[in-house]
């Protein structure tokens, strides 16, 4: 099993959810986060004063998948999140040792 974490632009979340839905992925966790990368923030003007926003608002999506579904999920996330500009985000893939469905006690891929 794999744990896929993706950091994306907030306004692309709906597109990513639709891409994932097309391949049959329904379960995910979405968190509003802030971060900085190559985009290095942005400069805003408010009442004539400039100020820098170092940490930009992003969404973090976490999805646990079976090994054979991993590449398909990664491509679906990329398809939904891609704009071609700096700040599109990142996808991280980590091994997932085990999982358990609390209600039934199922473990491993059966719990997904």
Name the residue range of residue 37's domain.
2-111
User: Are the C-beta atoms of 77 and 28 separated by less than 8 Å?
Assistant: no
Write down the pLDDT at residue 43: 63
The string of pLDDT tens digits covering residues 44-74 is: 666 777 666 778 889 999 999 999 999 999 9
CA 90 to chain centre: 8
Write down the pLDDT at residue 48: 72
Cα separations (Å) of 90 from 10, 96, 99? 13, 19, 24
Q: Can you give the CATH number for the domain in which 35 is found?
A: 3.30.70.120
Per the structure block, which two tokens stand in for 69? 């579904």
Q: How many domains does the chain have?
A: 1
């Amino acid at each position: 099993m794999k744990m896929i974490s993706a950091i994306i632009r907030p306004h692309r979340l709906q597109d990513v959810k639709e891409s994932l839905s097309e391949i049959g992925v329904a379960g995910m966790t979405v968190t509003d986060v802030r971060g900085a990368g190559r985009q290095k923030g942005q400069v805003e003007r408010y009442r004539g004063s400039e100020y820098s926003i170092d940490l930009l608002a992003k969404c973090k999506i976490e999805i646990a998948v079976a090994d054979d579904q991993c590449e398909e999920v990664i491509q679906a996330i990329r398809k939904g999140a891609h704009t071609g500009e700096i700040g599109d985000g990142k996808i991280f893939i980590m091994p997932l040792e085990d999982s358990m469905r609390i209600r039934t006690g199922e473990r491993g891929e059966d719990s997904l």
